[in-house]
Amino acid sequence: LKSRGVDAVASHPFPEHWKNQLMENSALYRRIPNELKGNLHQLTNVFLSKVEFRHGLIEAGEFGEENMILVASEACVLITGRDYQDFRNLELVELRVNPIRQQTSLITKDKIYLGQASPCTVWLHWESAKDESAEGNSGLNLILHEFAHVMDFADDGRAQGYLGEAGSQEARNWEVLLEEEFPKLVEAHTRGADYVIPPYAMTTGPTNITLRGLEKSRPEFFTCATEVFFERPVRLKRECPKVYEALKAFYNLDPVQWDNGEITSESPAV
């Protein structure tokens, strides 16, 4: 199929047992409207033809076909309203048994990472990824998070939370949004509020030089907001309407309309 081109791969029938596996293991897949699933299946086929999976080689883990299908499908939810160009640089996915521990200093505790992404590689702590995909309404989804980073990297190789081509109106709109919404996020978590976007979104990256001088990048806001956009859309739209509308325009999807949004009802933030 690959020798006949992308169209041949995309149009290849999506096996029924893959659909059954996704219905069993992915709460997000169960919520996606049927009219979107055809495109999702085509994108998943392309993903599986282009991306290498490294599994069973790291910490002697055993990973089956259903694990690759779950990763590919949930990753491709992000581009169902867009196209595969967002993943054009992606080459490798690694599934790991153990998280990565990174020593920061001799006196502080090691940092533990459940996933990481670069422009061409994603690795995932498999137990965490699988459990979050099965739950589907926690606002945490490791697969969505790391592949959103891949989309952020795609244009300029940097994860900074400005989407779209550098210098475009879309990128400027994201920058304005961050300037407005990031302080709200910090203020809410500082006073201990139950804010819909999780506190990890406050993480800042290395200092970089912009037109305004030296500043910290904020690479996790977009990825964390993406998780709640798909898993807690009703609450995100209610509490952070500008963030919801920006993500709706970017992804060209409206998860609030999928099975009435969340799987379960939620209380508003305090």
pLDDT in tens, 89-147: 999 999 988 887 765 555 556 678 889 999 999 999 999 999 999 998 899 999 999 99
Most confident of 51-60, 105-114, 199-208, 218-227: 218-227
Looking at the predicted structure, is the pLDDT value of residue 206 above 70?
Answer: no
Specify the amino acid at residue 167: G
Q: Tell me if 83 sits within 8 A of 120, measured CB to CB.
A: no
- The rounded distance, in Å, linking the Cα atoms of 144 and 125 is 13
Q: Find the largest Cα–Cα distance for the chain.
A: 57
Q: How confident is the model at residue 171 (pLDDT cuts 50, 70, 90)?
A: confident
- The rounded distance, in Å, linking the Cα atoms of 197 and 237 is 11
Looking at the predicted structure, is the pLDDT value of residue 264 above 50?
Answer: no
- The rounded distance, in Å, linking the Cα atoms of 87 and 46 is 10
Q: Tell me if 206 sits within 8 A of 236, measured CB to CB.
A: no
Give the single-character DSSP code of 198: -
Q: What angle do CA 242, 40, 87 make, to 5 degrees?
A: 70
Nearest CA to 47 out of 3, 81, 93 is that of 93
Q: How confident is the model at residue 158 (pLDDT cuts 50, 70, 90)?
A: confident
What share of the chain in percent tops pLDDT 90?
A: 59
pTM for this predicted structure: 0.88
Q: How far is CA 36 from CA 65, 150, 192, in A?
A: 23, 22, 38
Predicted local distance difference test score (pLDDT) of residue 187: 94
Predicted local distance difference test score (pLDDT) of residue 163: 75
Looking at the predicted structure, is the pLDDT value of residue 148 above 70?
Answer: yes
Specify the amino acid at residue 246: A
Predicted local distance difference test score (pLDDT) of residue 61: 57
Mind giving me the DSSP string for 228-266? HHHHSHHHHHHH-HHHHHHHHHHHT--GGGSTTSSSS--
Predicted local distance difference test score (pLDDT) of residue 108: 53
Q: Which residue's structure tokens are 């109106």?
A: 169
Predicted local distance difference test score (pLDDT) of residue 268: 36
Predicted local distance difference test score (pLDDT) of residue 58: 53
Tally helices (H) and strands (E) across the chain. 11, 8
